[in-house]
Structure 1
Amino acid sequence: MAYQALYRVWRSQRFDDVVGQKAITQTLKNAIVQKKTSHAYLFTGPRGTGKTSAAKIFAKAINCKHSVDGEPCNECETCIAITEGRLNDVIEIDAASNNGVEEIRDIRDKAKYAPTQAEYKVYIIDEVHMLSTGAFNALLKTLEEPPQNVIFILATTEPHKIPLTIISRTQRFDFKRIGTQDIVDHMAYILKQINVAFEEQALYVIGRAAEGGMRDALSILDQTISFSDEKVTLTDAMQVTGSLTYEMMDQYISSCTAGDVEKALETLESILGSGKEARRFLEDLLLYCRDLLMFQQAPKLLAEKVGNLTDQFKELAGQTNAEKIYQMIQILSETQNDIRFTNNANIYLEVATVKLAKSVKPAMMTNETAPQAATEDISALQQQIEQLQKELIDLKKNGVAAKEAEPVKTTRATSSKSTLRIPTEMVYKVLNEATKDHLMNVKNVWDDLLQMMSVTQRAMLKASEPVAAGPKGLVVAFEYEIVCGRAMEDEELQLALHNNLSRLANYAPEMVCITKESWPKLRQSFISQNKDLGNEQATNEQDAASESTHLLTDEEELPQEVNNQVVDEAIAIFGSELVEVIND
């Protein structure tokens, strides 16, 4: 038999075999067991995350007469026929090449006939977003009033291109990117089954290059096995993926953070000379900078994704401040955009290298400004004292007024005041409608939301947290002022947060950015301004009645019932765990 690619041989045949989608597979299994299946499903998510595989498993499980706990037996004639693609009642259609009205009308007409070999007739339409407007309209009536014993499963990587009228008539399941550790574990299992030796670190390189897609990971693994000599090694994986080793990136970033332009350029020339592709090089650098940030905030989480970390990487993460890393990410992102439409990518990389190495100097100068200015102040004062002492001696000797000492100019170190304008009115507008339920809803999906963002967006949001939420707005507090300012101006970030929250929590607020330093003052100011509100404006009064009933206030004569209203309102907005009640 001809050789088959790994991703075909090891395609999932049971729900439990689908990697990284436990919530979805468990829901589908329960629906089959309880006989509560829908007539139409929509499977969305990135490529290679198991959408089509799950659809075929579902078709087998619902038609299998020996199904156990919602899983197909994979041994009966029906299961084998569906696996081999020869069962007439399970029809798999590629919408990219069958996207016309006539094809969909043909499906609609044939769907009226009862299944002949199985209990249910299942239509799996892959890449459904490629259908034309007319084809969607032709499909709409069938989805609205489907024939008995007919199930439609629509799969797509771009759900935003599907009309809302179609989406509203289906049960939607969003397949997420598969975690690097899950991909590594699955590849390790496959290699052990086929008796191929491997280095664990090589699998981490392949897993990261796959960007959350199992099919991509197995395709790269297939290439690496063909390239290697009886063992999948780290070097082989690097060659096949075009990735950089951590040691190479350690050396490059260390030179940049040290401000050594010449050494950084030499390292860049060496990396490009070894055949590394410019765009892949930039992606690896962005991931490396992301890893530096993650190691500072969550070292255990990074170790699970990357595997072994070099000592130089750990040392670099400890020595480089977060704002410097944000600055590097910004330069790399701009360079990535610049080289998209050029044939001279190396020139942009060299310019970016100089920027990275030079950008460290202003930060170093800022740190040295204060002691340097203080030294100048002391020297100036010493000179002034010496001059005054000389004049005093002359005055005593001659009994005449000494020449007035000329004022000595002194330089003082002044700290630059914040120029970031906090949108107080917008914050108050959110707080007027804020509830604890909205805030907890966002916090529950915050980690999943970060995984759905781009590398740069995730880096910006990593040092932030949601602090208040209402029906139309979300207040996000950033740890660093510079990141907060960039987030305010980044329309793509705000749009991505808006869209992804809509998918995760059916909640699409407008993001209001503030600094963590300003948040306590804004919260206290809002509570103070609203302490005289009537009972009709207090929310969740009954739930908050059992909480603490005193709030710190400058007006000691404030009536007890008004105090209670303020506390109730604060708890309703921020939650009891965020409200501190102090008896004055």
Structure 2
Amino acid sequence: MSYQALYRVWRPQRFDEIIGQELITKTLKNALITKQTSHAYLFAGPRGTGKTSAAKIFAKAVNCRFLKDGEPCNECDTCKAITAGTLNDVIEIDAASNNGVEEIRDIRDKAKYTPTEADYKVYIIDEVHMLSTGAFNALLKTLEEPPANVIFILATTEPHKIPATIISRTQRFDFRRIKASDSFNRMKYILDEKGVTYDEQALKVIAKAAEGGMRDALSILDQALSFGDNEITLENALLVTGSVEKGLLTTYLEQVVGNQTTDALITLQKVLEEGKDAHRFIEDVLDYLRNLLLYQQAPDIVAENSLGDVPEEIKTFSSQLTASDLFQAINILNGIQSQMRLTNHPDIYLEVLTIQLAQIKGGTPVTAATQKPEAATVSAAPTSEELASLSEQVAQLKQQVKELKLVKTTGEPAPSVAKTVEKPKKPAGRESRVNLAKVYPVLDTAARNELAQIQQVWSDLMQILSVTQRAVMHVAEPVAASKDGLIVAFDYSFLFQKATLDSELLDALENGLDRLIGHSPTIVFVPKDQWPQIRKDYLVQHKDQLANNANQSDAPETGEPQEPSLSAEAPKAEPDPVVTKATDLFGTDIVDIKQD
């Protein structure tokens, strides 16, 4: 017979052999003993935690004539046929490749027939979340009113994708991740049975790399056996998993903690030259820092995670680093880890990571705020000069308050206040810049009816965009429009900047408007918090031009001067051209006229 993988050879055949799921196996065994089995079960949980194995064992147990303490005998013809996969009454279906309505209808039609050999017909549907909506609807009626002697077992790694109507008609069991200690003990048992030489430290590395999946642990163990010529060593386990040796990792962290940036970069190069996976390296550093943080608060948890062996360096580091240091380091690692997913040069990110970690000093990041000792240091007792300076500042503030009260009561400006009270300046580089050369031409010919036309089709325009583009434009709205231009304001400055640089978004908006209104105006983006000031500046700067335009439009067509009116009535006040333009641009509902 050809070689079989370890996870297939050592697949559990009894409930007691399922690792780390004692609550579930005990519940199923009690249901079998008392004959209180349900017609449908849902086994949910991470990969490699025993869901399909438990389903097959349950199928054997419910049909075994020699059931003992809820466990199948594995000796009768029925148990052997189910183990070999040759019993027609136990049907295992992969929903990933059979997810259509027709496949489920076929199951529904065949489920009406009684079992041919066993007592129960058992359908095991693996990865059930892959079924289509129509397939779920076809399965729903069968689960609601199942035929006699039919049991459905649904297995999935993503239960949130299953309709609630399906889940409510099943008994749900959530399989949890397997502890590293349980995986370690299971691998020891298998290797002892096979008579293979192994290093326990190597098994610990494999157990941690499996991340709670027993099947993953056995697959890595199988690979290490092949690589090491039927022998498990720590070096082979590190090579197979891509993990970093603890000694090298400790050296790296010691150099980072000691702000030895150059030495840490050299150690990082050694790690990369050994062929270690960059993503795995970050996982190892994160796990190390997590253990340091936990050891400061709950040492017993670290002892359990380390399989009973707490390294000495963890005890040493935990006293050297504060919780603030560890929080900042973990945040940096998480940020680099998310950025590395989209790059082909992870070594660059690891070098940046090393430099950032080496800048963490005493729980305070090295930033512009901490580079000035005078800003970060507070003396214990103020000197006489400091007290005199503070007294002078208090006196100046009191004088400013008096002058401000005077301004409020009399309306006259106070020169000293104007000189001393200034608006806080925004930090350089943080203000969103608007291209006024594109905004003002739109405002020159803007009209209320053009804006109303855009607002009417705005919701339809959003439906034309992709989901990502729609998410960006969700917090934007048109605020001014002309025949050839459109101004759109964003609630948030960072989304304004993102949209300004997104040429595909601009093309999609212009093409969509071309379809909806028959032409594509030039679109200009502005931040909503700057829009009122932009609008005001435009009206002020173009006041003379607006007045000339208004006078020209009011002049008679003949060009002859008009005679003065002889009426005794007082002449009517001419409308302010700025107010007229503002009303044309933005409508009377939002224009508030105040007399100077």
Structure-1-length-normalised TM-score: 0.63
Structure 2 equivalent of residue 186 of structure 1: 186
Task: Name structure 2 gaps, 5 residues minimum.
Answer: 391-596
- Mean CA deviation greater in 49-58 or 224-233: 224-233
Q: Is the 8 A contact 2:291 2:314 kept in 1?
A: no
- The question of whether the paired residues in 1 share the 8 Å contact of 2:243 and 2:281 is answered with yes
Verify the 8 A CA contact 1:259 1:361 in the aligned structure 2: no
Q: Relative to 1, partners in 2 of residues 1:407 and 1:28: Cα closer, same or farther, differing over 3 Å?
A: closer
Q: Distance in 2 between matches of 1:321 and 1:228?
A: 41
Q: 1:158 aligns to what? A: 158
CA distance in 2, matches of 1:45, 1:369: 53
Residue number in structure 1 paired with 2:109: 109
Q: Which residue of 1 aligns with 2:34?
A: 34
Cα distance change of structure 1 residues 112 and 295 upon mapping to structure 2, 3 Å threshold: same
Give the Å deviation of 1:311: 2.1
- 1:305 offset after TM fit, Å? 2.1
Say how many residue pairs are matched.
386
Residue 190 of structure 1, CA deviation? 0.3
In the TM superposition, what are the counterparts of 1:431-446 in structure 2 within 5 Å?
A: none
Number of the residue aligned with 1:348: 349
Alpha-carbon offset, residue 407 of structure 1: 7.7
- Residue type at the aligned position of 1:338: Q
C-alpha distance in 2, partners of 1:341/1:261?
Answer: 26
The question of whether the paired residues in 2 share the 8 Å contact of 1:204 and 1:305 is answered with no
Assess if the C-alpha contact under 8 Å between 1:250 and 1:313 holds in 2: no
Secondary structure, counterpart of 1:98 in structure 2? coil
**Matched residues in 2 for 1:59 and 1:208: separation?**
32
- With over 3 angstroms needed to count, the CA separation of the structure-2 counterparts of 1:126 and 1:327, relative to structure 1, is same
8 A contact 1:124–1:153 mirrored in 2: yes
Equivalent position of 1:312 in the other structure: 313
The 1:255/1:92 distance shift into structure 2, 3 A limit, reads: same
* C-alpha contact 2:322 2:363 (8 A) present in aligned 1: no
For the pair 1:294 / 2:290, whether they are aligned, the reply is no
Other-structure match for 2:9: 9
What letter is aligned with 1:143? L
Aligned partner of residue 226 in structure 2, secondary structure = helix
Q: Which residue identity does 1:350 align to in structure 2?
A: E
Partner of 2:330: 329
Distance across 1 between alignment mates of 2:324 and 2:30: 48
The residue correspondences of 1:57-456 to structure 2 (distance < 5 A) are: 57-307=57-307, 308-360=309-361, 363=364
Amino acid at match of 2:171: Q
* Residue 266 of structure 1: how far off its partner (Å): 1.3
Contact 2:325-2:363 at 8 Å conserved across structures: no
3-state SS of 2:122 partner: strand
**Secondary structure of the equivalent of 2:123?**
strand
Assess, with a 3 A threshold, how the Cα gap between structure 1 residues 32 and 362 changes in structure 2: closer, same or farther. Answer: closer
Q: Offset at 1:79? A: 0.3
Q: Which moved more, 1:315-324 or 1:303-312?
A: 303-312
2:321/2:362 contact within 8 Å kept: no
CA distance in 1, matches of 2:332, 2:365: 18
Work out the percentage of aligned pairs sharing the same amino acid: 60
SS in structure 2 at match of 1:114 = coil
The one-letter amino acid of 1:159's match is P
Distance 1:63 1:299, change over 3 A: same
Q: CA separation in 2, counterparts of 1:300 and 1:367?
A: 39
Q: What displacement does 1:31 show?
A: 0.4
Task: Tell me what 1:454 maps to.
Answer: none
| Partners of 2:149 and 2:255 in 1: CA distance | 66
Structure 1, residues 277-325: CA drift from partner, whole Å, max 9, x if none?
1111111111111111122222222222224343223201221111111
Offset from partner CA, 1:442-495 (integer Å, 9 cap, x none): xxxxxxxxxxxxxxxxxxxxxxxxxxxxxxxxxxxxxxxxxxxxxxxxxxxxxx
Aligned mates of 2:94, 2:338 — CA distance in 1? 33
Cα separation, partners in 2 of 1:367 and 1:406, compared to 1, 3 Å: closer
Task: Report the equivalent of 1:429.
Answer: none
Equivalent in the alignment of 1:500: none
How far, CA to CA, are the matches of 1:264 and 1:220 in structure 2?
30
CA distance in 2, matches of 1:408, 1:265: 51
Amino acid at match of 2:330: I
Kindly indicate whether the alpha-carbon contact (under 8 Å) linking 1:6 and 1:222 is maintained by their aligned counterparts in 2: yes
| AA partner of residue 279 (structure 1) | H
Residue 19 of structure 2 is matched in structure 1 by 19
Give the drift of 1:264: 1.5
What amino acid does structure 1 have at the position aligned with 2:337? Answer: Q
Asked whether the 8 Å contact 2:322–2:362 carries over to 1, the reply is no
Deviation, structure 1 residue 253: 1.6
Could you tell me whether the CA contact under 8 Å between 1:129 and 1:159 is conserved in 2? Answer: yes
**AA paired with 2:233?**
T
* TM-score after normalising by structure 2: 0.62
Partners of 2:377 and 2:389 in 1: CA distance:
13
1:134-163 alpha-carbon deviations (Å, 9 max, x no partner): 111111100000000000000000001111
Distance in 2, Cα, partners of 1:270 & 1:310: 22
The letter of the residue matching 1:11 is R
* 1:220, distance to aligned residue in structure 2 (A): 0.2
- Contact 2:59–2:122 (Cα < 8 Å) also in 1: yes
CA–CA distance in structure 2, aligned partners of residues 311 and 26 of structure 1: 39
DSSP 3-state at the match of 2:87: coil
2:176 is paired with a residue whose SS is coil
Q: Which moved more, 1:180-189 or 1:281-290?
A: 281-290
Say which is worse superposed, 8-17 or 228-237, in terms of deviation. 228-237
Distance 2:119 2:138 in 1: 25
Distance 1:260 1:10 in 2: 48
- Once residues 275 and 248 of structure 1 are traced to their aligned partners in structure 2, the CA distance between those partners, rounded to angstroms, is 14
Deviation, structure 1 residue 263: 1.5
For residues 333 and 158 of structure 1, the distance between their equivalents in structure 2, rounded to whole angstroms, comes to 24
The one-letter amino acid paired with 1:330 is N
Rounded Cα–Cα distance in structure 2 between residues aligned with 1:250 and 1:36? 55
Distance in 1 of aligned mates of 2:386 and 2:274: 66
3-state SS in 2 of match to 1:75: coil
Alpha-carbon RMSD: 2.4
Aligned partners of 1:246 and 1:310 also within 8 Å: no
Change (3 A) 1:368 1:147: same
Distance in 1 separating the partners of 2:277 and 2:126? 33
1:153 counterpart SS class: strand
Aligned counterparts of 2:380 and 2:95: Cα–Cα separation in 1:
75
1:20–1:408 Cα change, 3 Å = same
Q: Which amino acid in 1 is paired with 2:72?
A: P
The superposition leaves residues 8-37 of structure 1 with CA deviations (integer Å, 9 ceiling, x where unpaired) of 000000000000000000000000111110
Q: Residues 552-575 of structure 1: CA distance to partner in whole angstroms, max 9, x if unpaired? A: xxxxxxxxxxxxxxxxxxxxxxxx
Q: For 2:269 and 2:103, locate their aligned partners in 1 and report how far apart those are by CA, in whole Å.
A: 54
- 1:270 Cα deviation after fit: 1.2
**Distance in 2 between the 1:361 and 1:293 partners?**
15
Deviation at 1:229, TM superposition (A): 4.0
CA distance in 1, matches of 2:268, 2:389: 47
Q: CA distance change for structure 1 residues 312 and 152 in 2, over 3 Å: closer, same or farther? A: same
